[in-house]
Amino acid sequence: MTTTGKQLFTTLTADGKLTLEVAESQFPTPTGNQVLVRMEGAPINPSDLAILTSAADFETAEYSPGKVVAQMPEPFLSGQKGRHGQRLTAGNEGAGEVIATGDSDMAKALLGKRVACVPGHAFSQYAIADAKMCLPLGDHSSEEGASSFVNPMTALGFVETARMEGHSAIIHLAAASNLGQMLNKICLEDGMQLVNIVRKQDHVDLLKALGATHVVNSSDDDYMAQLRAAIKDTGAFLGFDPIGGGQNTDHVLKAMEQVASSQMGEYSRYGSNQDKKMYMYGRLDLGPTILTPSYGLQWQVAGWLLTPFLAKAGMETVVKMRTRVQQNLTTTFASHYKAKVNLEEMLTKPAITDYRQMKTGEKYLVTPWG
């Protein structure tokens, strides 16, 4: 017996046509540890946009009800060669009610409950999810629980990564984001020092109002001096950058090196012996990353991705992190939405034009029955 419902699909063909469309789908009866969730809310995260919009031209796209066809430019077309011709589902996470389950005790225990889940096809009226990754929401609404995985686990993951690598301070770029605000709260709770970098005075004010001690504005003329002072104060030589493109990471590494070399007794032609590391965990800017030769040879730049991190951290740590999220869902880990759209509204020009900009504090929630 299958269940029928509407679902979003994204297809990129070799000729560069990206098609997003809402179509009817059949959802199978869950087996084993699976649960069938009637989805009530799913956030559009930056990580979803990689597969939804990428760098396609939605200005000149063809829009029809529940469908949009846009052109994908190079090098993003050939860069996604692996998906050419495949009809993919989308939506990492969301929340809803469990209406059927597989045979496992863990799955059966969730029947009738509202849960947060990570099905990978959350932009849908129904989803098949792994019971192990479901978080029972108790009295919380699906709106409150829809974003309980990607951002909370990423923010907690940054702090855990810093600890695992022996750091007691973190630098965070684009720090006024939903994720950035969570990170700020976690760092305050855990006594981890945090240097927040933002681009607007509004965001400085916002983070300071949330108790942030170090907030640096990269639009200020004395940005580098502010940044050096904050690094000196905190000893932060590890950073996380969701922007990727341009020189954001380069400038942070340069400031780290300037602080480190000013603290050295003797000049070294190879730069300071201080380890300096920046993680890129996103690509808000799809342009190339520029690294200048201005911080010696004692540095690292690396990608950071949630799934391999969780695998590395181990089950015990992951369970601890999930429990902490569950217990603080409407405080530390609260998410806010600018707008709610159903699946068809999600594919209109005004909506796409707005949410693809990924502006700070302007997240969308997809409510597939709305």
Site residues (vs a second copy, CB under 8 A): 47, 50-51, 75, 79, 82-83, 86, 88, 244-245, 250, 261-262, 264, 267-270, 273, 280-281, 283, 286, 288-294, 296-305, 307-308
Smaller CB separation from a second copy, 34 or 289? 289
> Between 9 and 281, whose beta carbon lies closer to a second copy?
281
Q: Which is nearer to a second copy, 203 or 283 (CB)?
A: 283
| Least distance in angstroms from the C-beta of 191 to a second copy | 28
| Closest separation in Å from C-beta 86 to a second copy | 6
Least gap, CB of 17 to a second copy (angstroms) = 17
CB within 8 A of 291, min separation 6: which ones? 249, 250, 253, 301
Token code pair at residue 45: 């995260």
Q: How far apart are CA 89 and CA 51, in angstroms?
A: 9
Min CB(48)–a second copy separation in Å: 9
Residue 211 CB, shortest distance to a second copy, in Å, is 30
Please give the helix or strand (H or E) that residue 276 lies within, else none. Answer: strand 276-280
Q: How far is the CB of 138 from a second copy (least distance, A)?
A: 31
**3-state secondary structure at position 83:** helix
Are residues 366 and 341 in contact, defined by beta-carbon separation less than 8 angstroms?
A: yes
- Determine the residue type at 104: S
Q: Exposed, middle or buried: residue 319 (CB in 10 Å: 0-12, 13-18, 19+)?
A: exposed
Got the DSSP string for 162-191?
Answer: HHHTT-SEEEEESTTSHHHHHHHHHHHHHT
Which C-beta is closer to a second copy: that of 59 or that of 269? 269
Q: Which tokens go with 258?
A: 């300037």
Q: Report the candidate in 204, 163, 153 with the shortest Cα–Cα distance to residue 183.
A: 153
Closest CA to 278 of 227, 205, 319, 204: 227
If you ran DSSP here, which 8-state letter would residue 123 be given? S
Shortest Å distance, C-beta 147 to a second copy: 19
3-state secondary structure of 58: strand
Task: Check: CB of residue 90 under 8 Å from CB of residue 57.
Answer: no
Structure tokens at 147: 């974003």
Q: Distance between CA atoms of 85 and 14, rounded to whole angstroms?
A: 7
Nearer to a second copy (CB atom), residue 124 or residue 332: 124
Nearest distance from C-beta of residue 212 to a second copy, angstroms: 26
Residue 235 or 245 having the CB closest to a second copy: 245
Q: Which is nearer to a second copy, 73 or 303 (CB)?
A: 303
Query: Which of 1/297 has CB closer to a second copy?
Result: 297
Residue type, 5: G
Q: Are 301 and 291 in contact (CB under 8 A)?
A: yes
Least separation in angstroms between residue 292's CB and a second copy is 5
Nearer Cβ to a second copy (300/357): 300
